[in-house]
Amino acid sequence: MKAIKYIQGSATHNSTIVIVSKVYLACGFFKRLLGLLAFKPLKESEGLLIKDCRSIHTMWMGYNIDVVFIDKVGRVTAIYENLAPFRFSPYIRRACSVLELKAGSGGRASIRIGDIISFVE
């Protein structure tokens, strides 16, 4: 699965940007609890999607990450770039899922609050 950001253009032209070409899905209690601890450090082309999630932690991680909170329609509701190890994100009430990325990936893809992100095979 890959993560795609939709870019609003003119009335006749919209485009997309691939944020990451490989998205891993964390489903189930333990995979969601462990998050990226269950994986090798992410490459620039990889991300982890955690569904039914409104807050994350970076406890015991050895590297920084970018964190993108997404609501039920795919709209970005909050972004935390370069979140350091041993930190907790705030609880984002409107979020339904979280996309965790290698630090710097969010900025490279110019992800902003209000952007629409979808996940496709």
What SS3 class is residue 105?
helix
Q: What is the pLDDT of residue 26?
A: 84
For the chain, give me the number of helices (H) and strands (E)? 2, 8
Token couple for 42: 């992410």
The CATH number of the domain holding residue 65 is 2.60.120.1140
Q: How far is residue 66 from each of residues 9, 10, 15, measured CA to CA in Å? A: 26, 30, 23
Distance from C-alpha of 38 to C-alpha of 28, rounded to nearest angstrom: 13
Q: Residue 34's closest CA among 54, 62, 51, 56?
A: 56
Distance from C-alpha of 98 to C-alpha of 103, rounded to nearest angstrom: 14
CB neighbours of residue 34 within 10 Å: 13
If one counts the domains in the chain, the total is 1
Structural domain boundaries, residue 86: 2-120
pLDDT digit string, tens, across residues 21-73: 999 988 776 666 666 766 778 899 999 999 999 999 998 888 999 999 999 99
Q: Is the pTM of this model over 0.85?
A: yes
100 in Cβ contact with 50 (< 8 Å):
yes
